[in-house]
Amino acid sequence: MLLLMLERGMPIDAVYYADTGMEFPEMKEHMQKLDELLFRERGLHITTLRHPKGFEWFLYDTPLTRKKAIERRVTKELPVIGYGWPGPRARWCTGHLKTKLVDRALKQVKEKCSAIQYVGIAADESHRCKQDKDKRYPLVEWGITEAQALQICYDRGFDWGGLYEIYNRCSCWCCPLQRIGELRKLRQHHPDLWRRLLDMDKRAIAMFGDNPLGRFRKNWTVKQLDQRFAEEERKQANLDKEVTR
Ligand code: SF4
């Protein structure tokens, strides 16, 4: 969206990027490259919005404030700090690490002047658009799908260091809501991040135990997934051996 807005000469006063702190290293390089282009074209830098404490602080350390939530934890003899792993019904990460930061930044702008927020939702995910007089969705207006948007980026030399050749989604590498297939690829292509995820999960289990707070996914710990993927690899290697015999 930003590349096309630049090409079409649309006015841009600020570009905000909410960084959860759990982005792939390739994403950081991509943002740097994009920032350089933005500066060359418009003399602007991307404003990165980051919560000062970050993802792991919310996961393990944030003090609970709601009385009922504290009471529930005390009854279950669970710590009264940390939100535990995010899940479909407890997606605290999007709110605390993305939406709230962007909303706060926009509020500050809107205190000084009127502002239109452009959001990069693609035409084939338009159900995510919100009716709001201060928001616009250029990709939806231009009928550009996710696949077309990706190709537009590739055509202009933005390839995310190959991330989208591997993964379907490139948000937080530690996201428990991503598909199992994506986690399998994480183990294979980013073993260092996978090791970190194993450690994070170990800490969550030690802290919260076997319940939704400590469970990475409903039926899987990261260690169990690790064993499953390793077993799959062993079986595949044996099959390959059979074929070459
Ligand atoms: S990608 Fe996953 S972990 Fe990251 S903010 Fe979104 S839901 Fe949360």
Q: What is the pLDDT of residue 241?
A: 83
C-alpha of residue 23 to centroid of ligand 1, in Å: 10
C-alpha of residue 87 to centroid of ligand 1, in Å: 9
| pLDDT tens-digit series, residues 169-181 | 899 999 999 999 9
C-alpha of residue 240 to centroid of ligand 1, in Å: 36
Residue with the smallest CA separation from ligand 1 atom 2 is: 175
- Rounded to two decimals, what is the model's pTM? 0.91
Q: What is the pLDDT of residue 242?
A: 82
Domain housing 162: 2-236
H/E stretch holding 16 reads strand 15-18
Residue 91 CB contacts under 8 Å (≥ 6 apart), including other chains: 177
Residues within 6 Å of ligand 1 by CB? 20, 86, 91, 93-94, 97-98, 171-172, 175, 177
* pLDDT for 131 beyond 80: yes
C-alpha of residue 109 to centroid of ligand 1, in Å: 26
DSSP designation for 215 = -
- Evaluate whether residue 17 is within a structural domain: yes
Q: What is the pLDDT of residue 210?
A: 87
C-alpha of residue 67 to centroid of ligand 1, in Å: 26
* pLDDT for 244 beyond 90: no
Q: What is the pLDDT of residue 193?
A: 98
Domain count, the chain: 1
* pLDDT for 149 beyond 90: yes
Q: What is the pLDDT of residue 156?
A: 97
CATH code (residue 49): 3.40.50
- Evaluate whether residue 242 is within a structural domain: no
At 169, the amino acid letter reads R
- Ligand 1: which atom is nearest the Cα of residue 177? 2
How confident is the model over 41-47, as a mean pLDDT? 97
* pLDDT for 239 beyond 90: no
* pLDDT for 237 beyond 80: yes
* pLDDT for 245 beyond 80: no
- Evaluate whether residue 140 is within a structural domain: yes
- Evaluate whether residue 225 is within a structural domain: yes
- Give Cα 231 to chain centroid, integer Å: 28
- Ligand 1: which atom is nearest the Cα of residue 94? 5
Contact (Cβ atoms closer than 8 angstroms) between residue 170 and residue 193: no
- Evaluate whether residue 89 is within a structural domain: yes
Q: How far is CA 177 from CA 88, 90, 180, 217, in A?
A: 7, 11, 9, 8
- Ligand 1: which atom is nearest the Cα of residue 178? 2
Q: What is the pLDDT of residue 182?
A: 97
- Evaluate whether residue 23 is within a structural domain: yes
| pLDDT tens-digit series, residues 60-92 | 999 999 999 999 999 999 999 999 999 988 899
* pLDDT for 43 beyond 80: yes
| 3-class secondary structure, 78 | coil
Residue with token string 């990027």: 17
- Evaluate whether residue 141 is within a structural domain: yes
* pLDDT for 240 beyond 90: no
C-alpha of residue 35 to centroid of ligand 1, in Å: 23
Q: What is the mean pLDDT of the chain?
A: 95
Residue with the smallest CA separation from ligand 1 atom 8 is: 93
Contact (Cβ atoms closer than 8 angstroms) between residue 50 and residue 19: yes
Cα–Cα distance between 23 and 25 in angstroms, integer?
Answer: 6
Among 36-45, 129-138, 236-245, the least confident range = 236-245
Residue with the smallest CA separation from ligand 1 atom 5 is: 94
C-alpha of residue 175 to centroid of ligand 1, in Å: 5
- Evaluate whether residue 226 is within a structural domain: yes
